[in-house]
Amino acid sequence: QYPVTAFIGLGNMGGPMAANLVKAGVQVLGFDVVPEAMTAARRNGVHVVTDPLDAVVQAEVVLTMLPSGRHVISAYEESPGLLSAAKPGTIFLDCSTINISEAQQAAALAQQAGFRAADAPVSGGVVGAEAGTLAFMVGAGAEVFNEVHPLLDIMGARVVHCGENGLGQAAKICNNMILGISQIAVAEAFVLAEQLGLTDQALFDVVSRASGQCWALTTNCPVPGPVPTSPANRDYMPGFASGLMAKDLGLATNALDEQGVDAKLGRLAAAIYSEFAVGDGAHKDFSAIITSIRDNSAH
């Protein structure tokens, strides 16, 4: 028997995640501030409510999938916030990608109000949300982790317990910092190779079996051809949009500053993607960064 779940935030990710819970037999009460998101959720079998507190009051788990930490904290707190309506023992499970410090603050607010909390950000994008193959990185005590695990298993293919509250976000942000840096590195190498007269395929054939091998090359190859499924083959339709990468690298920069870490490449990657994500770049896959490197290079 799955816990009754209040699902707050039925957007690009939350919509299909909630639909998968319903399909698996979970009782889902849903709310979003946008009416179209509620209509779509209703079609997928979510019991939508016009006041989020009506969902929370019946729930054993309150799952939030919201744009930013500001949204999560204000949804918890604002008067009357979600915390004001919950039953004793409720778990507040935030799956949004937010600052580590905000995740810890959200968990502390829930705990101070007498509830339990977990952060469980995801990777896998909208495709993974629809297919139920997301990866969840969970920050929570062991007991809470064990209780939310069955729900996360429905929506995901991989669930990792990363440690206490906030450490799910920490894992997500560290992964995406590696990813942003490595996608830029791969793109720079392809542009250099092109200028030197090396074909894209020759570079791919060497590097994909050499020590430069990485996901940004072998799955998300930034040039069309060598990996037919990569976004470069469809004019950089995402995939993982540059705007979201810029957001995640901004969260990484905040964490680097808070911890005083000397991470020059992480900061540079954040600056490169925040510049690229102004305008059209925001909606292209983050491998499209190669187009800006090419444009800014001497020919």
Q: What is the dihedral of CA 166, 168, 171, 174, to 10 degrees?
A: -50
Q: What is the pattern of x (binds ligand NAD, CB under 6 A) and - over residues 242-271?
A: --x--x------------------------
Q: Which of 7, 14, 9, 62 is nearest to 29 (CA)?
A: 7
67 binds ligand NAD (CB under 6 A): yes
- How far is residue 273's CA from residue 248's CA, in Å, rounded to a whole number? 10
Rg for the chain, CA atoms, rounded: 20
Q: Interface with ligand NAD includes 8 (CB under 6 A)?
A: yes
Q: Which is nearer to ligand NAD, 10 or 289 (CB)?
A: 10
Q: Does 174 bind ligand NAD (CB under 6 A)?
A: no
- Using an 8 Å Cβ cutoff, are 126 and 19 in contact? no
Q: Per-residue x/- mask for ligand NAD, residues 115 to 144, rule CB under 6 A?
A: -------xx-xx------------------
183 in contact with ligand NAD (CB under 6 A) = no
Nearer to ligand NAD, 247 or 284 (CB): 247
DSSP 194-211: HHHT--HHHHHHHHTTST
Residue 65 or 288: the one with the smaller Cβ distance to ligand NAD is 65
Give the binding-site size for ligand NAD (rule: CB under 6 A).
25
Only segment of 59-67, 136-144, 180-188, 194-202 that touches ligand NAD (CB under 6 A) = 59-67
Contact with ligand NAD (CB under 6 A) among 6, 19, 41, 66: 66
CA–CA gap between residue 299 and residue 293 (Å, rounded): 12
The site map against ligand NAD for 74-113 (x = CB under 6 A) is -x--------------------xx----------------
Which of 23, 87, 172, 247 is labelled catalytic? Answer: 172
Segments in 24-163 forming alpha helices (H): 35-43, 52-56, 69-77, 100-112, 125-131, 142-155
* Min separation Cβ 84 and ligand NAD, Å: 14
Residue 99 is inside which H or E element, if any? none
Q: How far is the CB of 143 from ligand NAD (least distance, A)?
A: 25
**Residue 57, CA distances (Å) to 72, 86, 198 in order:** 18, 5, 63
Smaller CB separation from ligand NAD, 96 or 287: 96
Strand partners, 64: 8, 94
The C-alpha atoms of residue 226 and residue 258 are separated, in whole angstroms, by: 40
> 38 vs 203, which CB is nearer to ligand NAD?
38
221 Cβ contact partners less than 8 Å away, ≥ 6 residues apart = 186, 204, 227, 230, 232, 287
Q: Is 87 a catalytic residue?
A: no
Active site residues: 172
Site residues for ligand NAD per CB under 6 A: 8-14, 31-34, 37, 65-67, 71, 75, 96-97, 122-123, 125-126, 244, 247
